[in-house]
Amino acid sequence: MADSGSSGEFSASLTSSTLPPPRTRIFKIIVIGDSGVGKTCLTYRFCAGKFPEKTEATIGVDFRERLVEIDGEKIKIQLWDTAGQERFRKSMVQHYYRNVHAVVFVYDITNAASFRNLPAWIEECRQHALGNEVPRILVGNKCDLQDSVQVGTEVAQQFADTHSMPLFETSAKNSNILKDGSSRGSSDHVEAIFMTVAHKLRSQKPLVLSQPSDRAGGTVNLSSCGDSRGEGARSWGCSSC
């Protein structure tokens, strides 16, 4: 672009055509838990908007992405659907944990063992140096199977409180069903869960804007309080509220 010598014209053309398009931020969220708890179904539900007709055990890791807009900012939510089976994890495990922004622990409310194994998943995170600053949430999946519940809300909530995580109970299959088995209109609970994580990350990680060289580089927090926590999620404070 030619500089006409007039600062007014210069800044006008900067804003209209020469500024690079705003970068899309990517939030990497890993989803972990025992095999069969529904990690693939939950991530597919959020990214493709439906329950998959058929799933197979994940080998290594699958990525699913979805572009969302929060308060006018486009954000790419990248979900890493990790294998629950030990034999399919080994070679990949150290890659999952690089540059992770948030962790979603999943258990199956109809499978007590998947709940009992949560400490092992938390320990794996610790061993891979995931600090407390990385937001975590706990998701009890398969709430549509109310006749087969093995993990009650109370015990799950106690666990979540002990580990300072919000708890969400949901169903990837029928995502309008909430933890009490009720249905709330057309709201999609799985959607709300991942969007809550994205809001949380966005409020934690201010958008860094590049500044003209005559001004000190700065950090501009464009976030507003978008903490739309779901039922039972009470472990996250919102610093901007």
Ligand X SMILES: Nc1nc2c(ncn2[C@@H]2O[C@H](COP(=O)(O)OP(=O)(O)OP(=O)(O)O)[C@@H](O)[C@H]2O)c(=O)[nH]1
Crossing angle of helices 189-204 and 39-48, rounded to 10°: 80
How many residues bind ligand X (CB under 6 A)? The answer is: 20
Tell me the C-alpha distance between 133 and 66, whole Å.
24
Name the minimum Å distance from CB 81 to ligand X. 6
For the segment 94-113, give every residue that binds ligand X (CB under 6 A).
none
Site of tokens 């590049």:
210
**DSSP-based three-state secondary structure for 218:** strand
**Residue selected from 4, 11, 24, 85 as contacting ligand X according to rule CB under 6 A:** 85
Rule CB under 6 A: is residue 25 a binding residue for ligand X? no
Where helices occur in the chain by DSSP H, the ranges are 7-13, 39-48, 86-89, 93-96, 112-116, 118-127, 153-162, 189-204
Q: Closest residue to ligand X, Cβ-based?
A: 84
Kindly tell me which of 19 and 113 has the beta carbon lying closer to ligand X. Answer: 113
The only residue of 172, 195, 197, 201 in contact with ligand X, by rule CB under 6 A: 172
61 binding ligand X? (CB under 6 A): no
Q: Is 39 in the site for ligand X (CB under 6 A)?
A: yes
Query: According to the binding rule CB under 6 A, does residue 141 interact with ligand X?
Result: yes
Q: Do residues 49 and 32 touch, judged by C-beta distance below 8 A? A: no
Footprint of ligand X (CB under 6 A): 35-41, 55, 57-58, 83-85, 141-142, 144-145, 171-173
